[in-house]
Structures are given as structure tokens and as C-alpha cells.
Amino acid sequence: MVALIVAVAAAVSVYIFIYYNFLKGVKCKSDVSLNGRTVIVTGANTGIGKETALDMARRGARVVLACRSKDRAEAARFSRREDKTSNNQVVFMHLDLASLKSVRAFAETFLKSEPQLHILINNAGKTEDGFSMGVGVNHFGHFLLTNLLLERLKQCVPSRVVVLASETYRMVGLDFSKLSRTEPGHTNGFLDYAHSKLCNVLFARELSNRLEGTNVTCYSVHPGEHSITLCGHQPAPIPAPRAGPGLSRFTLQYTPQGGAQTSIHCAVQEGIERFSGRYFSDCRVREVVAHARDDAVARKLWEFSERMVGLSAD
């Protein structure tokens, strides 16, 4: 019994050491106010998106919760009240990024009802348009949304676009054949996810190039969804698995609040404008691997995406 207690105590100690040294993450240090500014957060009803939206509300912004589920969005608004945030300028607008029709409808509604947009956080991560699920939502949906709202962002400078990517972008090269329409359900979940995250990094890079001189900046971010797996097992695709039968797998992750810090940093931190188009992790700019900083490929992806979502006459 004593040996078991000692073993459990040792395991807890290891957990605490790893959490505070590797997983807790870096907290955004900016205390900037967002009074008078409007923010859109996609996928704002749960996880990192919810925590990001809560932070924007605490800073005084008018926050648009752009998500599919009104019930979950209302729950997120209730969390804001529980958090003693006095900001009542938090509203729900329906957006299903799996549907380009829904993206267009959202943009039309937003532009008619909201005169300002200062920060667009492309957070959400299925699609009725036939794209592979991860690429459709993570890239094409956000690509179309950003383009439809771009003029409003330019009218409200200084403004920012934050695109959630992931370290999984490193694992694949860009294969345009995998970005075209597919039969529903015909997809490799993890590779599709990694592909979409590479698209996110390249999208932010090309968007920055096209926005040069406009005072609209953009950033791709790794949200901190790290996992550590012990006992000789390899890490699994994000989201990482929880402890399995017999505790043979021991996985640690950032909390949603911790995972939101880099998105918040890129949305509000002053002085990072010169890093527009760059990739951030743990609230710091990071160098990306060679295939993710190829401007020619980024430009080709942009033009390809325009055709796929119907923004190009070609």
C-alpha cells in the first residue's frame, strides 16, 4: 500500500512538473482595451474559441459569436455573465463554415447590421459543398469569409486577422489534388487536418502580401494543443486521446484557456505589426519550415482557393 501511495505521489509530481514547465503555456501579457472595437470569433461556442471570445468581451469589445449552434452560443454568453464580465455587447450570428452558402449569408447579414470590424479570428475547425472535411471548414470556409469581410476590415484600420493553424502543418506538403472536391466521407482525417493547417499558414502569408500598406495585418497561430504520451506510445492526432484502459496512455494538454493565449496575443498585442504574415506559438513568432514559406505556392493556393469558392471568374 505504501509503495502504491509513493507511486501515485511520484506520478502527480511528474504531472505538476510537466504541466508548469511545458504545458501551462505563455499567457498573453497585453492589457489593451478593446472598447469601441468589433471582433468576430468563429467557433466561439466551445473550447479555444469560447475562451478567446470571453477574453475579447472582458476587454470591452463588441463580440460576434459566429457559430452553428445557437444553444451553445447562448451557453457561452452565460459563461461570460458567470465570469462577471459586464460587457453586454456579445451577440450570436449563425455561421456554418461547412457550407459556402452559409458563409455568404453570414457575411451579408454582418455587413448589413454591423458598421465596424476590427478583428477577425478564424478559429473554427464536414462539408455540404463536397470538400474534404478539414480543408473545407479550416481553409475554404475561412478563406471565403475573410475575403467577403476584407473591405470592412480595411475601412476600420488598424485591424487584424488571426488564423488558427497547428504544428501538424509540418507533416505534409501541399497537394492540390487533395484540395479539390471529394466524395462525401472520402477523407483521411489526420492527413486532411494537417493539410488544412498548412493551408492556414500559407493563406496568412499570402494575405499579408496582398494587404501590404493597408494597415490590416494577419497572423497564423499554433493554439497550444500539445500532448505528451508516456509508456512508449506515440502521440495521436489532435485532439489527443485521454487516458485509455488501464492508464496505459498518459496524455497531457493545455486547457482551452491556455490554448487561447496565442490567438489573444495576435489579436491585441501592440508592436507585432511588422510580423504580419508570420506564424506564432506560445505568444512568440516562430520560423516555419521551408514548404510553408514558399510565396509562389502561397500565391497558387490563393488563386486555386478563389476558383474553388467562386470568387474567381476562371
Residues 6+ apart with CB under 8 A from 156: 38, 116, 117, 118
Give the pTM: 0.81
Q: Domain-by-domain residue ranges, the chain?
A: 29-230+249-309
Which residue in 20, 169, 193, 279 is the catalytic one?
A: 193
CATH superfamily of the 29-230+249-309 domain? NAD(P)-binding Rossmann-like Domain (3.40.50.720)
Residue 185's Cβ-count burial label (10 Å; 0-12, 13-18, 19+) is: exposed
Find the helix packing angle between 47-58 and 70-82, rounded to 10°: 50
Is residue 193 annotated as part of the catalytic site, yes or no? yes
| pLDDT tens series, the chain, 314 aa | 656 554 554 544 444 444 444 445 689 999 999 999 999 999 998 889 999 999 999 999 999 999 987 766 566 555 555 555 567 899 999 999 989 999 999 999 999 999 999 999 999 864 333 344 567 678 899 999 999 999 999 999 999 999 999 998 999 898 887 776 554 444 557 788 888 899 999 999 999 999 999 999 999 999 875 433 333 333 333 343 333 333 333 344 568 888 999 999 999 999 999 999 999 999 999 999 999 999 999 999 999 999 999 997 65
Residues 6+ apart with CB under 8 A from 261: 25, 26, 27, 28, 224, 282, 283
Q: How many CA atoms lie within 13 A of 203 on its CB side?
A: 29
